[in-house]
Amino acid sequence: MRKIFITGISTGVGKTIVSAIVTEALQADYWKPIQTGSGEDRDSDTIKKLISNKKTIIHPEAFCLPLPASPFAAAEEQGIKIEIKNIAVPQTDNILVIEGAGGLMVPINEKELMIDMMEQWNAEVILVSQNYLGSINHTMLSCMALKDRGLKVVGIVYNGEDTLMAERSILSFCDFTVIGRIKPESNFTPGKISAYAKKFSL
């Protein structure tokens, strides 16, 4: 089973939108293992609203935690402990798109990070970057961490305004492929997701 893990250089950089685009492009299944801030709309609900193909199955979360914080903090607030070995990956004959929580170094417990999840599940990775002050540093650090772990990286998606100088700076040190770009949008629709899906290099 091919697994593609969508991660970001930080929180709020567009992982869910990219997950929707990749899910639609590949007509893949979707899974969010750990949802924090579950009192608000869940990411799986957003995916359901944005995709239009009939093949995708949206698998239920392993953990839904009310506190909008790291999985470690949100789980501790509920008096539980999350361990990767105890999370059962959904079995499917389809490609499985997995959306992470936050970035690579977000803690799951005292010893495990989100990047450990990608490694233990032998998942390919798509990294979502967004331009803001400090994003070059965050993107390069994320690229270095992925390379150090020897993880297979499908490529980078840039979300937001084009910043060619920032991209040049990143790509001069990080040779990952740019597989797509997303323009700033205030209202994504299934039609827009479908249009982006046709443009992504997957």
Q: For residue range 31-44, what is the model confidence (pLDDT) as tens digits? A: 999 999 877 689 99
199 in active site: no
The catalytically annotated residue of 3, 15, 32, 199 is 32
pLDDT of residue 131: 87
The answer to the question of residue 192 being in a domain is: yes
Q: Enter the tokens of residue 22.
A: 């990749």
Spatial CA neighbour of 140 closest among 154, 127, 125: 127
Q: Assign residue 136 the CATH number of its domain.
A: 3.40.50.300
Rounded CA Rg of the chain: 16
pLDDT of residue 13: 94
The answer to the question of residue 28 being in a domain is: yes
The answer to the question of residue 151 being in a domain is: yes
The answer to the question of residue 69 being in a domain is: no
Partners of 97 in beta bridges:
4, 30
* Domain total of the chain: 1
- Percentage of residues in the chain having pLDDT higher than 70: 100
In which domain, by residue range, is 26 found?
3-32+42-52+108-199
- Identify the residue with better confidence: 41 or 108: 108
The answer to the question of residue 98 being in a domain is: no
The answer to the question of residue 14 being in a domain is: yes
The answer to the question of residue 62 being in a domain is: no
pLDDT of residue 171: 84
The answer to the question of residue 130 being in a domain is: yes
